[in-house]
Amino acid sequence: MKGLIDTADFSAVVSDIYEASLSPAHWDTALTGLVSRFGTPRWDVAMLVWERIDPFGGRFVAACGVHEMARAAYLQMHAGRNEWSLRGHSLPPGSVVHSDRLIARPDFLQTAFFREFLAMFDMQVGLIGALDKAGGDHLGLCLPGPDNGPVEVLEEAVRLLIPHIQRSVRIARRLGQAELTAARSTAALDHAPSPVLMLTEGFELAYANPAGRILIERYRLEDVSGRIRLGSAALHDDIRRLLEPGQASHCQALRLSCCDGGEVPALAMRVDPARIGGAATDAGTARLMVVAANDPEINEAQIDRLRDWFALTHAEARLASVLAEGGSIEDHCQLRGVSTNAARFLLKGIFAKTGVSRQAELVQLLTAAPLQWARELPTSDLPPPIS
């Protein structure tokens, strides 16, 4: 059977799999390569999904050939409680089985998963790969398809590729563990609706979450030397005293002033560098955290809905939000402090996931999408498996 696996095709898919360990968005490319190179006619769907058995739920890592509506329906109705998931949960990591080995075909055809979901796509069978397990959660690879003949080549390809997919997932985790403390802090702060700034003792910027960068831009807080201006020199002296040994006070209230006369309340706090992962600039380690009141103009809810509806990464959804509101690539670059090349890389990923090829088509799609619909879906608390 191994002789039927084309070496060049196999190597190309393996390369895509390891690329995904560094760039999670590349998983979609890897899965597309897998089914297009080794699948038989109409076997062109693959899903890489974290699922939870009790309480049931799930989170897509990647998929190919699965429309956003189908992804949402699967997560809402079938993730973690269909027969393939329930019976596949007990498989040891590294296993690959045909669905007929999990449940007899006549029994499966009577299930709600088949009658209410797979039947509309004319899919009666599938290949199930077990990748990882953590308590009641498991990471699985599912390739559903029609009962239109043998799929030994695809099954053998999946069997050979499973160790590489496992390894890629673990590489991604180990890369994250290298900066574990900082990653945990940053992941939480990146999704915080309130602006957060991390400053060195000299008030240089070590970190700003997305809302914080908008605050810096809107209030023009950064001077030509790269320092953050929080107010008067006297206020800076008061804040700097928070860092003195034996200082009982650990926070200082302040108000940030905008050039148009607006103000926003904020709080400056001293932080333990060891607990924030040593976030640093060339000038030193972050010692101060500034948290400002939430700015109502930051539409984090829309970003979350764009991300969920189109299966975008958070960065892609942020760019899509700017474009949907009539902004430009250049606006995003200026707001986020990134290069045009970086923004166009994100745009390419957005194009791939939304099925459009031009920015005008994307804007039309985004403005027409029923983004409010996703708000009512239950939010899974499964941890992001790839980051």
Kindly give, in sequence order, each residue whose CB lies less than 8 Å from that of residue 135, ignoring residues fewer than 6 positions away. none
Q: What pTM, to 2 d.p., does this model score?
A: 0.48
> 269-285 pLDDT, tens per residue?
887 665 444 444 443 57
pLDDT at position 12: 87
Distance CA 199, CA 197 (A): 6
pLDDT at position 113: 92
Sheet holding 137-145, edge to edge: 57-64, 46-52, 137-145, 125-134, 96-98
Residues constituting the chain = 387
143-173 CB burial, b ≥16 within 10 A, e <16: bbbbeeeebebbbbbbbbbbebbbebbeebb
Q: Tokens 């269909």: give the residue.
A: 82
Separation of CA 22 from chain center? 13
Contact 169, 132 (CB under 8 A): yes
* Tens digit of pLDDT at every position of the chain (387 positions): 444 788 888 888 888 888 887 777 788 888 988 988 898 888 989 999 989 988 888 888 888 888 877 888 898 889 999 999 999 998 988 899 999 999 999 999 999 999 989 998 899 999 999 988 877 888 999 999 999 888 999 999 999 999 888 888 777 666 544 443 444 455 556 665 568 888 888 899 888 888 888 888 888 898 877 789 888 888 888 888 888 887 766 778 888 887 666 677 787 888 766 544 444 444 357 888 888 865 444 466 777 778 888 888 878 888 888 887 767 787 777 666 567 787 888 899 999 998 888 888 888 787 666 544 433 434 344 444 443
pLDDT at position 295: 47
- Give me the domains of the chain, ranges plus CATH numbers: 2-177 (3.30.450.80), 194-292 (3.30.450.20), 300-376 (1.10.10)
